[in-house]
C-alpha cells in the first residue's frame, strides 16, 4: 500500500526504484504480501478473461447483419407512468459503487486495526453485493419474461441475448463469490482472527488485516468490470 | 507471512478524505454517463463521452480504491504492460469485424 | 597471483555485494560476504503424517511435481498409442480392422490435445515447475502449498473428464485439436454430442487448475527467493518456466472463453460461433455468429501455448548444456532477454495460423512481420547454445546427447517455421504434411528431447540414483534417428501436396507417390514409440539396482543440488536457508580449485578471482 521499510535496502521512487527493486534479491514487489501479489496476478489473468468476453461481444455485435436492439429501450423501466431508460441499471451501478466505497473504507480501518468499523463496513459491502445480485436476478427474470433467451430475442440480433446472459452471468458469478467471501471475512474480523494472527483454514499463514485489502482488491475489480460492462453493454 | 511490519503500515494509511472524494467523484461520473443516455447523444459525441467517463472511472478505482497510485512502479508496470496485448487484440478485431460485415454484405446482399 | 589471472583471461566470477578491499583474503571477510538480511519470515509448512496427506493430498511441491509428472506421462502414453493407431491406418490402410474414418478423426483430435495441453504443458510447468522452482530459487516450498495441491487434483479431474469422453455415446470429439466450429458441434462430426462438451469441460477444469498452480510459480519466483538470489542469478530453467507461466496466465483466459462459448453454442443453441447454415436444404436454428472469432480466440491462446511448451525447454536445455560442457552459459543476459522477448512477442503473432481462414487479408502483413521478428531472439538462443559448447569440456553422456539432439531438431523445425510464417509460402503448404512435420519437429520432438535430457539429468536428484547410461544411449539413438525418419520424409510429402487429416488417400495421385513413404514413416513411428518404453524400463530398473548418486553428482552449481539430504526432504533446506553469492554458471573459472563454484560459495572462499560488486 505505502512504502515499507526494508532493512539494508534503500527504496527509491519511480522508474529508478523499479529498476532497483527488480534487480534486487528475495522479492521484486517490495513489502507486498504474498497473498496480495497473488491476487493482483490473478486479477490480471481475470482481466484477460473479461477482455476476451468483451472483445468477442464486439466482434459478434459488429459482424451481425441483423440490427442490434436498442439497449436504452430494452433495459428501460416503466415507473409511475413514465418510461425511464436504464433506471434499474443506474440503480445497480449506484449500489455497486456504494459497496466499493464501503470496501475501500473497510480496508483503511482494517489497517488502522479498528476491528468494529472494519467489520461493519465489510458487512455493508456484502449487503450491497447481495442487493446487486438480487437486482440482477430481477433484471434477468424481467428480460426472460419479455421473451429474451440466450438463443433468440424479440428485439433483434439473437447474439444480443447470448452475450448479455453470458457476460452479466459471468460477472454476477464473480459478485456472488465475492459476497460469500465478504460474509466469511466479516465473521473473521468480528471474531478477531486478524488481531490474534489466527491461522486460516487451509493455510499455515497467520491472519492479518492485509487479507482485507486482498479481498478489497477482488471487490474493486468486480466493480471495475461493471464499469466496462455498463459502458459497452448498456450505454453503447 | 511476509515481514510487513504492521506498525509501519498503521502509521501510513491514508486520510479518509481521499476515499470520500473519490467515492463522490465516482457517483458524479456515473451520473454523467447515465446522462449521456438520458439526453440520447448520438454518434461520435456519445461514444467519446462514454469512453471518457468509463476510463476516468476505471482509472480512479484502480488508482485509489485499489491503491495502485501508491504502489511501487515494479508492481504497477507488471500489471499495466500486458494490456498492450489486449489493445492489439481489440484493434485487430475491429478491423476483422469490419471485414466480416463487408464480406457478408458483399456476398449476401450485393450478390458477389 | 590474482592479478595475473584477471589480466590474462578477462574473466570475472559474478559474485555478490560490497567489496571493501581490493585484495581478497585480507581479513575483511565479513564485509565481503555481506548479503542483505531476510525480508520474508520463515515459512511454516504443513507436514503430513498419514499416507494420504503425505503422498496423495500432499502439499509438498516436490511430491506434487512427481504426481504431475506421472499423470502427464500416463496421458502422454495414451497419446502415443493413439498416434500408433493413426500411423497404422496411414501406412497400412485397413490393417487395423476396427478403424473407421470417425475413429481416425477422434484419434487425431485426442492425440493433439493430449500431447500439447495435458502432456507437454502439464509436464513442463506442473512437473518440472513444481519440483525445480522452490529448489532453484531457494524457497522451502511453493508459497501457497494448499492451492498447489488443489491445482494438481483439478488437473487430475480434467484428465479424468477428458478420458471419460472415450466412453460416452458417440465417443470423443473428432474435430481436430483446434476444435473449429461450426463443424465441431454439428452432427456429422464424430463426437459432436457428449464428446465436445466433455472436451470443453475438461479444458475449463485444466485452466482453472493451472491458474492455481501458475499463481504459485509466479509468486514463488517473484516474492520468495532466498537471500542473495536476484532475478539475474536465477538458472535459465527458472526463467523459462517463469516466462512460460506468465504466458499461460495471460493466454489460457482466451481458451477458457472460447470453450465456454462453444459449450453454450452446443448446449443452449446460442450462435456465438455459428453462422446461418444450410443443411440438406434446411436452414439450421443457428444464425449470425462468427466462426472466425473462435479461431482468433483459440489462436490467441494457441500461439502462446507453443511457447509455453518451448520456453521451459529452452531454459532447461541451457542449464544442461552449461553443466555438461563445464562452461558458463554464453550470453546469460542475452538468453534471459531472448526468453522474455519471445514471450512478449508471442501475443502478437497468433493469426499466422489462420492465413487460409478467410480473415481480413491485410492481417497477413502484420502477422508475417511479427512472426519473422521472433526468429531473431530464437536464433540468438541457438547461437548461444552453440557458443556455450564451443571449446567446452564436453561430457558426451546421455544428457548431452539429448541436448545436441534438441539443438539440431529445433533448428530444423525453426527453419520450416520461417517458411510457414510467410503468407505466400504458407498458402500452398498449409494443411499438408509439411505443417505436420514442422510443428512436430519444433514443438513435439524438440521439447521432448529436452524432457528426456532433463529426466536423465535430474533423476539422480529425485531418486538418488543414476539412470543406466547404456540403456539411455539406446533410447537416445533410437528416438533421434527414428524421429528424423518419421518427420524428414513428411516435409517431402508436404511438398508434393499430401493433405493432412485425411483418413486415407483414396484414388488420388498421392496414393501411388506417397504409399511407400507412408509405410516407411509408420514403421519408424512404431519403433520410436516402442523405444520410449526403454526409459520406463530404465527407471524401474534403476530404482532397484541403480548406482547411488550422492550429493551433487554432476558437479553443478545451482541450488537444487546443494540440499542437505538427497533426495531433498520436505522443507528442502534443513535448518538454514541457503545464501546465494553468485550466478549458477561459474564453471571452469580460471584459478579456482575445482572446475565449479556453487552458488552458495562465499567470495571469501574463492581464491584468486576478482569479485564483481553488484
Query: What average pLDDT does chain C have?
Result: 89
Could you tell me if C462 and C403 are in contact, meaning their C-beta atoms sit under 8 angstroms apart? no
> A24-33, C329-338, C506-515: lowest mean pLDDT where?
C506-515
Do A86 and A9 reside in the same domain of the chain? no
The 10s digit of each residue's pLDDT in A125-152 is: 999 999 999 999 999 999 999 889 988 8
C603 pLDDT higher than 90: no
Q: Is residue C543 part of a domain?
A: yes
Chain A residues close to B86, C-beta within 8 Å: 47-48, 51, 55
Could you tell me if C458 and C399 are in contact, meaning their C-beta atoms sit under 8 angstroms apart? no
Whether the pTM exceeds 0.90: the reply is yes
Crossing angle for the helix pair B83-104 and C363-389, to the nearest 10 degrees: 140
Among chain B residues, the shortest Cα distance to A195 is held by: B6
Cβ contact (<8 Å) for C363 and B92? yes
Question: Domain residue spans in chain B?
Answer: 1-71, 82-112
C-alpha distances (whole Å) from C133 to each of A218, C57, C213, C238, C334 are 27, 20, 12, 6, 21
Cβ contact (<8 Å) for B93 and C296? yes
Task: Determine contact: C354 vs chain A, CB below 8 A.
Answer: no
Cβ contact (<8 Å) for C271 and A159? yes
Percent of chain C with pLDDT over 90: 72
Please report which confidence band the pLDDT of residue C140 belongs to, taking 50, 70 and 90 as the band edges: very high
The 10s digit of each residue's pLDDT in C209-262 is: 999 999 999 999 999 999 999 999 999 999 999 999 999 999 999 999 999 999
Chain B residues close to C143, C-beta within 8 Å: 1
Q: What is the nearest CA distance from A175 to chain B, expressed in angstroms?
A: 17
Question: Tell me, what CATH number does C303's domain have?
Answer: 1.20.210.10
Q: What is the nearest CA distance from A145 to chain B, expressed in angstroms?
A: 24
The 10s digit of each residue's pLDDT in A10-58 is: 888 889 999 999 998 899 999 899 999 999 999 999 999 999 999 999 9
CA A137 to chain centre: 17
How many Å from the N-terminal Cα to the C-terminal Cα in chain A? 35
Residue range(s) defining the domain that contains residue A25: 1-31
CA–CA separation, A78 and C118 (whole Å): 53
Chain A residues close to B79, C-beta within 8 Å: 40, 44
pLDDT of residue C2: 36
Chain B residues close to C43, C-beta within 8 Å: 1
Least Cα distance to C258 among C321, C318, C175 occurs for C175
Among chain B residues, the shortest Cα distance to C253 is held by: B86
Task: Determine contact: C203 vs chain A, CB below 8 A.
Answer: no
Cβ contact (<8 Å) for A33 and B100? no
The grid cell for C377 is: 531472439
What ipTM, to 2 d.p.? 0.94
Do A19 and A46 reside in the same domain of the chain? no
pLDDT of residue C511: 67
A122 exposed, middle or buried (CB, 10 Å; 0-12, 13-18, 19+)? Answer: buried
CA–CA separation, A207 and A210 (whole Å): 8
Do A146 and A167 reside in the same domain of the chain? yes
pLDDT of residue C609: 54
C-alpha distances (whole Å) from A102 to each of A113, A146, A177, C122 are 16, 35, 18, 41
Q: Is residue C321 part of a domain?
A: yes
Do A83 and A146 reside in the same domain of the chain? yes
B71 exposed, middle or buried (CB, 10 Å; 0-12, 13-18, 19+)? Answer: buried
C61 pLDDT higher than 90: yes
Q: For A29, which of B14, B22, B75 is closest by C-beta distance? A: B75
The grid cell for C262 is: 462453444
User: DSSP string of A96-129?
Assistant: HHHHHHHHHHHHHHHHTT-HHHHHHHHHHHHHHH
Do A2 and A72 reside in the same domain of the chain? no
C483 pLDDT higher than 90: yes
Q: Is residue C280 part of a domain?
A: no
CA–CA separation, C19 and A92 (whole Å): 62
Cβ contact (<8 Å) for C40 and A162? no
Among chain B residues, the shortest Cα distance to A216 is held by: B66
Chain C residues close to A204, C-beta within 8 Å: 43-46, 145
How many Å from the N-terminal Cα to the C-terminal Cα in chain B? 66
Among chain B residues, the shortest Cα distance to A95 is held by: B27
Q: DSSP class of residue A90?
A: H
Q: Is residue C38 part of a domain?
A: no
pLDDT of residue C328: 93
CB pairs under 8 A between A and B: 182
CA–CA separation, C209 and C215 (whole Å): 10
Residue range(s) defining the domain that contains residue C207: 55-274+285-600
Question: Tell me, what CATH number does A139's domain have?
Answer: 1.20.120.80
| Domain total in chain A | 2
How many CB atoms are closer than 10 A to CB C355?
A: 23
Rg (CA), chain C: 25
Do A40 and A23 reside in the same domain of the chain? no
A111 pLDDT higher than 60: yes
**CB contact set of A203 (below 8 Å; sequence gap of 6+):** C144, C145, C146
Q: Is residue C191 part of a domain?
A: yes
Cβ contact (<8 Å) for A151 and C227? no
The 10s digit of each residue's pLDDT in B14-56 is: 888 899 999 999 999 999 988 888 888 888 898 999 999 999 9
How many CB atoms are closer than 10 A to CB B58?
A: 16
Do A14 and A66 reside in the same domain of the chain? no
Do A116 and A10 reside in the same domain of the chain? no
Q: Is residue C233 part of a domain?
A: yes
A74 pLDDT higher than 90: no
The grid cell for C102 is: 470417425
pLDDT of residue C3: 35
Q: For C288, which of A6, A46, A157 is closest by C-beta distance? A: A157
CA–CA separation, C47 and C52 (whole Å): 12
Least Cα distance to C175 among C185, C167, C184, C186 occurs for C184
Among all chains, which residue has been given the C-alpha cell 550466478? C583
CA–CA separation, C420 and C353 (whole Å): 9
Q: 3-state secondary structure string, C297-343?
A: HHHHHHHHHHHHHHHHHHHHHHHHHHHHCCCCCCCHHHHHHHHHHHH
Among chain A residues, the shortest Cα distance to C223 is held by: A27
Q: What angle do CA C235, C238, C242 make, to 5 degrees?
A: 145
The 10s digit of each residue's pLDDT in B54-101 is: 999 999 999 999 999 999 999 999 999 999 999 999 999 999 999 999
Do A66 and A90 reside in the same domain of the chain? yes
Q: For A45, which of C227, C250, C269 is closest by C-beta distance? A: C250
Chains in touch with A (3+ beta-carbon pairs under 8 Å) read B, C
CA–CA separation, C193 and C169 (whole Å): 8
Q: Is residue C192 part of a domain?
A: yes
Least Cα distance to C121 among C402, C310, C282 occurs for C310
How many CB atoms are closer than 10 A to CB C396?
A: 11
CA–CA separation, A79 and A204 (whole Å): 53
Chain C residues close to A155, C-beta within 8 Å: none
Among chain B residues, the shortest Cα distance to C223 is held by: B2
Amino acid at each position: 500500500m505505502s512504502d515499507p521499510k526494508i532493512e539494508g535496502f534503500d527504496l527509491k521512487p519511480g522508474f529508478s526504484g523499479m529498476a532497483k527493486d527488480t534487480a534486487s534479491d528475495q522479492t521484486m514487489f517490495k513489502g507486498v504480501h504474498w497473498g496480495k501479489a497473488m491476487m493482483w496476478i490473478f486479477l490480471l489473468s481475470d482481466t484477460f478473461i473479461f477482455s476476451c468476453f468483451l472483445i468477442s461481444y464486439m466482434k459478434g455485435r459488429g459482424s451481425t447483419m441483423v440490427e442490434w436492439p436498442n439497449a436504452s429501450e430494452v433495459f428501460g423501466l416503466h415507473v409511475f407512468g413514465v418510461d425511464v431508460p436504464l433506471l434499474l441499471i443506474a440503480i445497480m451501478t449506484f449500489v455497486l459503487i456504494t459497496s466499493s466505497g464501503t470496501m475501500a473504507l473497510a480496508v483503511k480501518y482494517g489497517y488502522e486495526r479498528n476491528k468494529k468499523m472494519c467489520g461493519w463496513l465489510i458487512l455493508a459491502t456484502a449487503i450491497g453485493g447481495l442487493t446487486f445480485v438480487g437486482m440482477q436476478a430481477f433484471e434477468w427474470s424481467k428480460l426472460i419474461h419479455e421473451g429474451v433467451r440466450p438463443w433468440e430475442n424479440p428485439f433483434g440480433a439473437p447474439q444480443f441475448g447470448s452475450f448479455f446472459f453470458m457476460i452479466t452471468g459471468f460477472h454476477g458469478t464473480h459478485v456472488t463469490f465475492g459476497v460469500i467471501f465478504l460474509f466469511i471475512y466479516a465473521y473473521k474480523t468480528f471474531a478477531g482472527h486478524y488481531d490474534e494472527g489466527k491461522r486460516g483454514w487451509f493455510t499455515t499463514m497467520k491472519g492479518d488485516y492485509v487479507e482485507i485489502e486482498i479481498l478489497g482488491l477482488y471487490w474493486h475489480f468486480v466493480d471495475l468490470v461493471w464499469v466496462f460492462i455498463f459502458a459497452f453493454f448498456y450505454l453503447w | 507471512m511476509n515481514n510487513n511490519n504492521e506498525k509501519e503500515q498503521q502509521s501510513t494509511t491514508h486520510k479518509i478524505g481521499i476515499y470520500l472524494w473519490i467515492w463522490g467523484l465516482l457517483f458524479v461520473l456515473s451520473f454523467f454517463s447515465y446522462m449521456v443516455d438520458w439526453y440520447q447523444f448520438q454518434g461520435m459525441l456519445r461514444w467519446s463521452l462514454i469512453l471518457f467517463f468509463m476510463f476516468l472511472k476505471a482509472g480512479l478505482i484502480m488508482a485509489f480504491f485499489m491503491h495502485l497510485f501508491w504502489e511501487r512502479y515494479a508492481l504497477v508496470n507488471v500489471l499495466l504492460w500486458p494490456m498492450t496485448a489486449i489493445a492489439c487484440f481489440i484493434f485487430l478485431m475491429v478491423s476483422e469485424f469490419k471485414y466480416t460485415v463487408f464480406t457478408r454484405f458483399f456476398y449476401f446482399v450485393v450478390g458477389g | 597471483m590474482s592479478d595475473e589471472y584477471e589480466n590474462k583471461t578477462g574473466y570475472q566470477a559474478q559474485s555478490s555485494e560490497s567489496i571493501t578491499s581490493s585484495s581478497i583474503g585480507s581479513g575483511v571477510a565479513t564485509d565481503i560476504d555481506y548479503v542483505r538480511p531476510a525480508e520474508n519470515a520463515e515459512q511454516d509448512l504443513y507436514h503430513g503424517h498419514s499416507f494420504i496427506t503425505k503422498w496423495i493430498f500432499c502439499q509438498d511441491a516436490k511430491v506434487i511435481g512427481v504426481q504431475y509428472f506421472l499423470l502427464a506421462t500416463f496421458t502422454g502414453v495414451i497419446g502415443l498409442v493413439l498416434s500408433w493407431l493413426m500411423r497404422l491406418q496411414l501406412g497400412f490402410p485397413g490393417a487395423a480392422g476396427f478403424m473407421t474414418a470417425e475413429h481416425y478423426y477422434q484419434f487425431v483430435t485426442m492425440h493433439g490435445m493430449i500431447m500439447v495441453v495435458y502432456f507437454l504443458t502439464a509436464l513442463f510447468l506442473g512437473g518440472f515447475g513444481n519440483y525445480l522452482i522452490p529448489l532453484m530459487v531457494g524457497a522451502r516450498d511453493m508459497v501457497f502449498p494448499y492451492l498447489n495441491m488443489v491445482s494438481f487434483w483439478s488437473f487430475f479431474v480434467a484428465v479424468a473428464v477428458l478420458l471419460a469422453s472415450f466412453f460416452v455415446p458417440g465417443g470423443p470429439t473428432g474435430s481436430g485439436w483446434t476444435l473449429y466450429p461450426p463443424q465441431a458441434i454439428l452432427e456429422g462430426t464424430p463426437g459432436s454430442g457428449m464428446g465436445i462438451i466433455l472436451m470443453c469441460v475438461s479444458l475449463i477444469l485444466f485452466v482453472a487448475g493451472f491458474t492455481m498452480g501458475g499463481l504459485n510459480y509466479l509468486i514463488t519466483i517473484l516474492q520468495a527467493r532466498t537471500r542473495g538470489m536476484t532475478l539475474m542469478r536465477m538458472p535459465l530453467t527458472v526463467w523459462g518456466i517463469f516466462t512460460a507461466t506468465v504466458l499461460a496466465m495471460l493466454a489460457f483466459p482466451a481458451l477458457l472463453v472460447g470453450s465456454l462459448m462453444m459449450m453454450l453454442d452446443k448446449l443452449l443453441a446460442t450462435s456465438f460461433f455459428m453462422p446461418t447454415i444450410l443443411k440438406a436444404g434446411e436452414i439450421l436454428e443457428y444464425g449470425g455468429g462468427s466462426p472466425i472469432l473462435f479461431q482468433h480466440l483459440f489462436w490467441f491462446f494457441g500461439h502462446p501455448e507453443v511457447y509455453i511448451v518451448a520456453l521451459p525447454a529452452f531454459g532447461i536445455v541451457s542449464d544442461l548444456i552449461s553443466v555438461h560442457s563445464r562452461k558458463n552459459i554464453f550470453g546469460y543476459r542475452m538468453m534471459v532477454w531472448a526468453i522474455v522477448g519471445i514471450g512478449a512477442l508471442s501475443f502478437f503473432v497468433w493469426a499466422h495460423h489462420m492465413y487460409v481462414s478467410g480473415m481480413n487479408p491485410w492481417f497477413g502483413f502484420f502477422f508475417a512481420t511479427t512472426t519473422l521478428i521472433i526468429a531473431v531472439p530464437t536464433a540468438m538462443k541457438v547461437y548461444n547454445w552453440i557458443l556455450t559448447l564451443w571449446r567446452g569440456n564436453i561430457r558426451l553422456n546421455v544428457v548431452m546427447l539429448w541436448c545436441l539432439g534438441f539443438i539440431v531438431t529445433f533448428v530444423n523445425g525453426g527453419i520450416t517455421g520461417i517458411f510457414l510464417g510467410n503468407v505466400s509460402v504458407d498458402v500452398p503448404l498449409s494443411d499438408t504434411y509439411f505443417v505436420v512435420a514442422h510443428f512436430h519437429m519444433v514443438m513435439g520432438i524438440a521439447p521432448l528431447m529436452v524432457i528426456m535430457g532433463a529426466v536423465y539429468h535430474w533423476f539422480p536428484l529425485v531418486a538418488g540414483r543414476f539412470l543406466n547410461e547404456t540403456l539411455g544411449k539406446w533410447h537416445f539413438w533410437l528416438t533421434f534417428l527414428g524421429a528424423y525418419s518419421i518427420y524428414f520424409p513428411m516435409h517431402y510429402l508436404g511438398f508434393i501436396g499430401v493433405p493432412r487429416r485425411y483418413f486415407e488417400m483414396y484414388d488420388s495421385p498421392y496414393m501411388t507417390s506417397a504409399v511407400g513413404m507412408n509405410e516407411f514413416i509408420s514403421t519408424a513411428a512404431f519403433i520410436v514409440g516402442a523405444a520410449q518404453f526403454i526409459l520406463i524400463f530404465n527407471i524401474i530398473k534403476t530404482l532397484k539396482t541403480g548406482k547411488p548418486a550422492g550429493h551433487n553428482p554432476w558437479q553443478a552449481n545451482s541450488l537444487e543440488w546443494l540440499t542437505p539430504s538427497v533426495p531433498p526432504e520436505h522443507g528442502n533446506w534443513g535448518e538454514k536457508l541457503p545464501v546465494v553469492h553468485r550466478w549458477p554458471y561459474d564453471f571452469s573459472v580460471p584459478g579456482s580449485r575445482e572446475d565449479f563454484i556453487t552458488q552458495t560459495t562465499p567470495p571469501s572462499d574463492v581464491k584468486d578471482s576478482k569479485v564483481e560488486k553488484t
